[in-house]
């Protein structure tokens, strides 16, 4: 008798759960959390997408502190992407931006941004005041741009103890070996570089670029000379800090 009661109890719990599941599928509701982190502000938004029984979709957007426009552009993107998808989805975007300052008597300045999304880190840099031609850009091991020659940043960031080389080379490369870029006759240069071998502030020391520095060189990286590609003076520097 006692067994029967327990069985009945279990059965009714089962029915309750399946009813709830049914209710969910006729009225799907998704919450997408958008997080944009920058070095000056942290912005958060929550988007709740729900549809009624007639299939009418409504979005409720709640934006919290700072960087409002940036969050809203992400919100549009994410709600479009997740339309018709019933899974509760979470996306987090982290962005850090720095100014590159002239070193070694140069006039080379610029901006660099790191954006982490879905396990990929995108580097975007814009440089001004360069000499025309090829210049090297690397991540060096310390976020210390205090010295006039930029040498306070140490050598190339090389957490995996490999040889210097072209990014992805079978013979080895440093995690800081971004490579070369071209500057125009006007002295401008731009770089975009994306990889899943970096992260912004994760626990993996072979991936985390926080605490390192971006260095731009006067010369070209020959992608072969050890330990740093013989790229010449360090002409612009930015610490990568949170």
Phi and psi angles of residue 178, each rounded to the nearest 5 degrees, phi first: -70, -45
Closest distance of CB 56 from Cu ion, Å = 56
What are the phi and psi torsion angles at 153 (to 5°)? -85, -5
Task: List the structure tokens of 89.
Answer: 């989805």
- Which of 145, 134, 220, 207 has its CA nearest to residue 176? 207
Closest approach of Cu ion to the CB of residue 98, in Å: 16
Which residue from 143, 220, 231 is spatially nearest to 181, judged by alpha carbons?
Answer: 220
User: Quick one: which segment of 28-36, 86-94, 172-180, 207-215 binds Zn ion (CB under 5 A)?
Assistant: 172-180
Q: Which structure tokens are listed for 178? A: 């971004």
177 binds Zn ion, rule: CB under 5 A: yes
Question: Quick one: which of 146, 172, 174, 168 has its CA closest to 237?
Answer: 146
Among the candidate windows 34-42, 95-103, 104-112, 151-159, which touches Zn ion by CB under 5 A?
Answer: 151-159
* Partner from Cu ion, Zn ion, none contacting 177, C-beta within 5 to 8 A by type: Zn ion
Least gap, CB of 128 to Cu ion (angstroms): 19
For residues 175 and 160, the answer to whether their CB atoms sit within 8 Å is yes
| Near Cu ion by CB under 5 A: residue from 49, 215, 216, 235 | 215
| CB-CB contact of 236 with 216 (8 Å) | yes
The residue (of 96 and 215) whose beta carbon lies closer to Cu ion is 215
- Check if the beta carbon of residue 109 is closer than 8 Å to that of residue 100: yes
Pick 174 or 212: Cβ nearer Zn ion:
174
Could you give the CA distance from residue 172 to residue 38 in angstroms, rounded to a whole number?
32
Q: Which of residues 126-145 bind Cu ion (CB under 5 A)?
A: 138
Residue 215's binding partner, choosing from Cu ion, Zn ion, none, with beta-carbon cut-off 5 to 8 A by kind?
Cu ion
- Under the binding rule (CB under 5 A), the answer on residue 174 touching Zn ion is yes
Of 164, 212, 217, 234, the one binding Zn ion (CB under 5 A) is 164
Binding site for Cu ion (CB under 5 A): 138, 215
Binding site for Zn ion (CB under 5 A): 156, 164, 174, 177
């Amino acid at each position: 008798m006692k067994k029967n009661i327990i069985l009945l109890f279990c059965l009714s719990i089962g029915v309750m759960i399946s009813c709830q599941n049914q209710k969910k599928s006729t009225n799907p509701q998704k919450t997408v959390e958008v997080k944009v982190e920058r070095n000056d502000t942290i912005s958060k938004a929550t988007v709740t997408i729900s549809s009624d029984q007639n299939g009418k979709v409504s979005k409720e957007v709640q934006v919290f502190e700072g960087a409002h426009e940036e969050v809203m552009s992400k919100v549009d993107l994410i709600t479009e992407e997740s339309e018709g998808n019933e899974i509760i989805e979470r996306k987090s975007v982290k962005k850090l931006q720095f100014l590159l300052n002239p070193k070694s008597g140069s006039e080379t300045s610029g901006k660099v941004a790191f954006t982490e999304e879905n396990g990929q880190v995108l580097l975007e840099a814009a440089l001004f005041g360069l000499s025309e031609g090829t210049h090297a850009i690397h991540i060096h091991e310390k976020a210390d741009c205090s010295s006039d020659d930029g040498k306070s940043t140490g050598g190339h960031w090389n957490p995996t103890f490999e040889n210097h080389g072209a990014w992805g080379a079978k013979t080895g490369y440093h995690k800081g070996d971004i490579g070369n870029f071209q500057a125009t006759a006007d002295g401008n240069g731009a770089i975009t570089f994306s990889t899943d071998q970096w992260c912004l502030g994760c626990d993996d020391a072979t991936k985390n670029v926080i605490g390192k520095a971006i260095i731009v060189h006067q010369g070209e990286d020959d992608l072969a000379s050890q330990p740093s590609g013989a790229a010449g003076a360090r002409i612009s520097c930015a610490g990568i800090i949170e």
